[in-house]
Amino acid sequence: MPRRKTSARENTGPRKRARTFKVDESILDAPRFDFEPIIDADRDLAKHVLTINGQRTIDFTSREATLLLTQGILKHHFKINLSLPKGHLVPTIPNRVQYLTWAANLLPPTLRSQRITVLDIGTGPSCIYPILGTRLFPSWKFIATDIDDEAIRSARENCNNNNLNNITVLKTVSNDQLFSEEIRNEKPLLTVCNPPFFSQLYSHDDPAGTHSQLLTDGGEYAFLRKMAQESLLQESVLWFTSLIGCKDDVPNIVSFLRSSRINALRVKTAMLCPGGRTVRWAVAWSFGEEASEVTLMEDGQSKWRQQITIVPGRKYANQLGEEDIGGVVSSCFREMEWSVLDSLSSCSTRCFRAPPQSGFECCEIEAFVERRHGHGDFVVLLKAQQRGQMNAVEFKELCLTLREKISILLNS
């Protein structure tokens, strides 16, 4: 079933500036690529080397120098030969690797090594994310799309020249439809995207890429709103992700994803800053997996405290509240013939007493339910208020039984 859309100078849509907005994580670490063997192997690159404060670097404002460095890193570290048409953006490698790794880590560990399909929206002539992805995650298959004919031609050439048979490059008609039927048939599990950031360029701007790479109606905010709206119908995708170029757009797109128009179950953000250079932000959203995930772990404070984490499945996408989860917990305790102590219970906290002649007489357990803000999942904290004749091992076994019953009830 279907699931419940600039410029740094000019953006469309709501502009409620959230100065206190903080991303979920700041990722400063990125792969460090050794300059020396790359410089030694390329005399043309050596001509652009500068020494600043005893450190060797290049002039990153020079397209030629940046392209030579990118080609050198790809050839030396990834065994990739890259060519680019004139006038197109030159991809820098550390932040691309950083973004891909962050997106991959959103997936459950068991999926990262499996043969999954990943969609790159707006791949560009370098086809950089699929090319790097095939080296970082060899079992993955990529679908790369773009609206620009020259970008499509160049992307296919780069794939063919490097014998990358697990990348399929597809032409899309326009940004009005990012997920075609052909793409949906491939059943991608993850998407990556580096959208056009701007809605217009100014006369004094020195564009580093083509208009299709830099410009889109309404800027990146409008582009991502469109992508979010289309994501409602993409049932195979577990995580949608995108880079964001303008910091002010981050809280706005997050608000839109959490609004009733999209109702994303989980939304995550990150600040990517490889090597202290250009800062980019990233956003990811998910409507959850098909099945609800229920896990048990020790609270850490005491052996008489256990914690059940509940990640609702897609059919519940943002439809459950703390009271609903509390009702599920109560139903499971009643099934075990425990009674609810109404006098000690509230909306988020419930207290249960063991049945007579169960071996746990006089045992009382408190269950506190809390929704984790921004994650879409719930935590049920179980605490033995009155232990009676129950020991710590029996308490954990009871919590395991409760976890199993909650999982069965949510997934039935």
Q: Note whether 269 and 163 are same-domain residues.
A: yes
Q: Do residues 241 and 133 lie in contact, with contact meaning Cβ atoms separated by under 8 Å?
A: no
Q: Note whether 150 and 254 are same-domain residues.
A: yes
Amino acid at 17: R
**DSSP H helical segments within 137-248, as ranges?**
149-161, 181-185, 211-214, 219-231
Instruction: Give the chain's domain count.
Output: 2
Q: Note whether 340 and 228 are same-domain residues.
A: no
What is the Cα–Cα distance from 318 to 326, expressed in whole angstroms?
16
Q: Note whether 247 and 155 are same-domain residues.
A: yes
171 DSSP assignment: E
Q: Note whether 182 and 225 are same-domain residues.
A: yes
Q: Is residue 21 part of a domain?
A: no
120 phi and psi angles, rounded to 5 deg: -105, 110
Q: Note whether 355 and 241 are same-domain residues.
A: no
195 alpha carbon, distance to own chain's centre: 15
CATH number at residue 104: 3.40.50.150
User: pLDDT tens digit string along 341-385?
Assistant: 876 666 789 999 999 888 888 899 999 999 876 567 899 999 999
pLDDT over 80 (residue 55): no
pLDDT over 90 (residue 395): yes
342 DSSP assignment: G
User: pLDDT tens digit string along 83-119?
Assistant: 998 877 889 898 899 999 999 999 988 888 899 999 9
Sign, Cα dihedral of 61, 65, 71, 72:
negative
Q: Is residue 133 part of a domain?
A: yes
User: pLDDT tens digit string along 286-335?
Assistant: 988 778 889 998 877 889 999 999 988 877 766 788 889 999 999 999 99
Q: Is residue 30 part of a domain?
A: no
What confidence score (pLDDT) does residue 111 get? 86
Boundary-marking domain end, from 233, 251, 286:
286
CB atoms closer than 10 angstroms to residue 298: 13
Half-sphere exposure of 70 (CA within 13 A, CB side): 22
What is the Cα–Cα distance from 80 to 343, expressed in whole angstroms?
68
Q: Is residue 402 part of a domain?
A: yes
What confidence score (pLDDT) does residue 159 get? 96
Token pair of 171 as six digits = 């032409």
Q: Note whether 236 and 94 are same-domain residues.
A: yes
Q: Do residues 157 and 181 lie in contact, with contact meaning Cβ atoms separated by under 8 Å?
A: no
Q: Is residue 36 part of a domain?
A: no
Q: What mean pLDDT is predicted for residues 202-227? A: 63
Q: Note whether 218 and 92 are same-domain residues.
A: yes
Which residue range is the domain that position 176 belongs to?
A: 86-200+209-286
Q: Is residue 48 part of a domain?
A: no
Give the pLDDT band of residue 284 (cuts 50, 70, 90).
very high
Give the pLDDT band of residue 196 (cuts 50, 70, 90).
confident
Q: Which of 51-55, 203-207, 237-241, 264-268 has the highest mean pLDDT?
A: 237-241
Least confident of 24-38, 183-197, 216-230: 24-38
What is the Cα–Cα distance from 247 to 103, expressed in whole angstroms?
19
CATH number at residue 381: 3.30.310.80
Give the pLDDT band of residue 10 (cuts 50, 70, 90).
very low
Q: Is residue 72 part of a domain?
A: no
What confidence score (pLDDT) does residue 8 get? 39
Q: What mean pLDDT is predicted for residues 29-37? A: 75
What confidence score (pLDDT) does residue 131 get? 97
Q: Note whether 214 and 345 are same-domain residues.
A: no
The dihedral region occupied by 128, where left means phi > 0, alpha psi between -120 and 50, and beta the remainder, is alpha
Q: Note whether 273 and 312 are same-domain residues.
A: no
Q: Note whether 168 and 219 are same-domain residues.
A: yes
pTM value is 0.72
Q: Is residue 362 part of a domain?
A: yes
Q: Note whether 144 and 235 are same-domain residues.
A: yes
Name the one residue in this structure whose structure tokens are 């169960």: 358
